[in-house]
Chain A
Amino acid sequence: MKILVCIKQVPDMESKFKIDGPGQWYDTTDLAWRMNEYDEYAVEQSILIKEELGNSDITVLCIGPRRVQETMKKALAMGCDRGVHVEDDSVHQRDPLEISSIIAEFAKGEQFDLIFTGLQSQDRGSGQVGLFVAEILELPSVSTIISFTCEGKEIEVKRELEGGMKAVVRLQAPVLLTCQLGLNKPRYPTLPNIMKAKRKELSVIDVEQLRKVEPICATKSLFVPEKKNSGLILEGEVSELANELIKHLKEKTSFLA
């Protein structure tokens, strides 16, 4: 199988976010960066397929500034074969269709049997890029998969629906699939594999070579929402915190009374 996995680098969601100067994105200094959680499942799934079928080749692709190569190296250390870094300092200003068309432009001549993306990105969370890529390339696609099996080109996936229900869907490669949390158990790269990954091919393409469409929507502003909740915030030393919480629970609930 020839496989493409698209990953995005996102900030750690526990970060304290600040708004940048122009007020259209978050300030990217002092943030810890990681692989979008959903994409870890996409990477793992492609590696599982390679381990099962052998004779496969996995390309991991990421659009972003130079720093995304750190995240790409993790994917290579997990087991992807080669990396394609589409270098783009303005990726955060592009709309989902632009990002998708960049990916599709790269993929169109490559004859991938399988393309994996995450269901959504944790920072922007549009959940659009994967399915747009499929529509551009005219590939059948299924979103939100939590199970994958294949026999030759015959693929069976389960799509997760609300309440834990699943839809069983069959289709034939080439396909694009978007991965939901819980699809598998993403591995941690081992030290020898981290070393090996340093020698793997990581090519860099300038985004202008792949950019073919203009944006049709744009961020006007980014802001920190006002706190609306009037709930109590308790801070301090744990023993006192426990006493205080117990006091409040006694007063305000029927418990511990």
Chain B
Amino acid sequence: MKLLLVAEYRAGTLLNSYKELIDFSSKLQGDTVMFLVGAENDVPQYDGTLYLADVANFKEYDPQVHKQLLLEVIEKEQPDMVVMVHSSYGWDLAPRIAFALKAAQVSEVIDIVDSTFVVPVCNSKLRRTIEVNSEKCVVTLQAGAFGMETESQGMPVITKIQANSTSSIEFVGYEEAEQGGVDLGKANVIVSGGRGIGKPENIGLIIKLATALGGEYGASRPVVDAEWADHNRQVGTTGQTVSPKLYIACGISGAIQHLAGMKKSEFIVAINTDKDAPITEVADISVIADLKQFLPVLTEKIVSL
């Protein structure tokens, strides 16, 4: 089986996630080649053929241009499978490639069992296995599902590629994340509130517990989107990545994008009414309770210790 691995380069740097692609391919024991729109002085540690399109000419992500470049390589290499990470790059590029190839696409793969792909369903509460019936297929891997541990090494043999680079989309530039505010990365204890807090006033329950423990408070995305907390409090793939000694998740279901930001915490407590919430899968202790009743009692007891 031949795999084409699509590495990613963003805002002037090669992303490490190419290692997950290599890990995946070594599990499948496939032959590989790699594709990158990037720079010659910043290439993956990989001992195979790297098809490189120079980012100076082809620019950072424009779906139409990157699609043309990738299709050139596919035409030449005829891979059985095109593999990307399920990132803002991968989930955008993958369907365009799949459609052009009349190939099935499987999104957010976390495992392969008996040549079917395993993907999460319903916020990871269920799993689905998918069987592909097209000749080629395009898959995106859930970020973090495959390890970085496979020793990737060596220097790639670079083949430069070109393609038509006209596009009806103009990439104007990047806007950096809002800076300033708290650096949650420094906190020893973080107490985070999720949609389960129910209403904006209840962020007070989260703050009080955080204060009682001498820590900071954080939030999941819906709480930030609703403006119940500032963006610099958000934990997760589109917020901050934290690894405090103690992380207490209150009313947070544990979506993969939230877990990615906190699962390396030393000790995790979940407070949730739903015993099956995915957060309980990473928690050291899960307290099954209504946070509105539980948090005031807990905080009170901690304060009076």
A33 within 8 A of B: no
If A124-B121, A164-B239 touch, whether A143 touches B91 (CB-CB below 8 Å) is: yes
- Chain A residues positioned under 8 Å from B237 (CB to CB): 162-163
A55 within 8 A of B: no
Q: Is the CB of A215 within 8 A of B133?
A: yes
B132 within 8 A of A: yes
Q: Which of A14, A216, A224, A249 contacts B126 (CB 8 A)?
A: A224
B72-97 contacts to A, CB under 8 A, are 86-88, 91-92, 94-96
Nearest to B225 among chain A residues (CB) is A182
**Complex interface bits, A213-244 against B, C-beta within 8 A gives 1, otherwise 0:** 00111111111110111011111001101110
If A162-B238, A165-B11, A170-B172 touch, whether A122 touches B107 (CB-CB below 8 Å) is: no
A32 within 8 A of B: no
If A168-B174, A220-B131 touch, whether A231 touches B107 (CB-CB below 8 Å) is: no
Stretch at the interface among A82-90, A134-142, A195-203: A134-142
B61 within 8 A of A: yes
- Chain B at the A interface: SS class: mixed
- Chain B residues positioned under 8 Å from A128 (CB to CB): 94-95, 98, 105, 107
Q: Is the CB of B126 within 8 A of A218?
A: no
If A165-B176, A216-B133 touch, whether A238 touches B289 (CB-CB below 8 Å) is: yes
**Complex interface bits, B1-39 against A, C-beta within 8 A gives 1, otherwise 0:** 000000000110000000000000000000000000000
Q: Is the CB of B169 within 8 A of A132?
A: no
B182 within 8 A of A: no
Q: Which of A125, A171, A229, A235 contacts B288 (CB 8 A)?
A: A235
Q: Is the CB of A231 within 8 A of B122?
A: no
Q: Is the CB of B122 within 8 A of A140?
A: no
Nearest chain B CB to A183 CB, angstrom units: 9
Q: Is the CB of A16 within 8 A of B221?
A: no
Nearest chain A CB to B179 CB, angstrom units: 10
Q: Is the CB of A160 within 8 A of B126?
A: no
B253 within 8 A of A: yes
**Complex interface bits, A95-126 against B, C-beta within 8 A gives 1, otherwise 0:** 11100000000000000000000001011111
Assembly CA distance A29 to B259 (angstroms): 30
Nearest to B132 among chain A residues (CB) is A217
Nearest chain A CB to B231 CB, angstrom units: 7
- Chain B residues positioned under 8 Å from A165 (CB to CB): 11, 174-177
Interface pairs (13), CB distance under 8 Å: A14-B277, A17-B125, A127-B95, A128-B107, A143-B91, A160-B88, A161-B88, A169-B170, A216-B104, A220-B130, A227-B281, A228-B281, A249-B267
Residues of B within 8 A of A (CB): 10-11, 60-61, 63-64, 86-88, 91-92, 94-96, 98-100, 102-108, 116, 119-134, 137, 168-178, 189, 213, 221-222, 224-226, 231, 234, 237-239, 245-246, 253, 266-269, 274-277, 280-289, 293-294, 297-298, 301-302, 305
Which A-B residue pairs are the 6 nearest by beta carbons? Answer: A164-B177, A217-B104, A182-B225, A131-B95, A135-B99, A168-B172
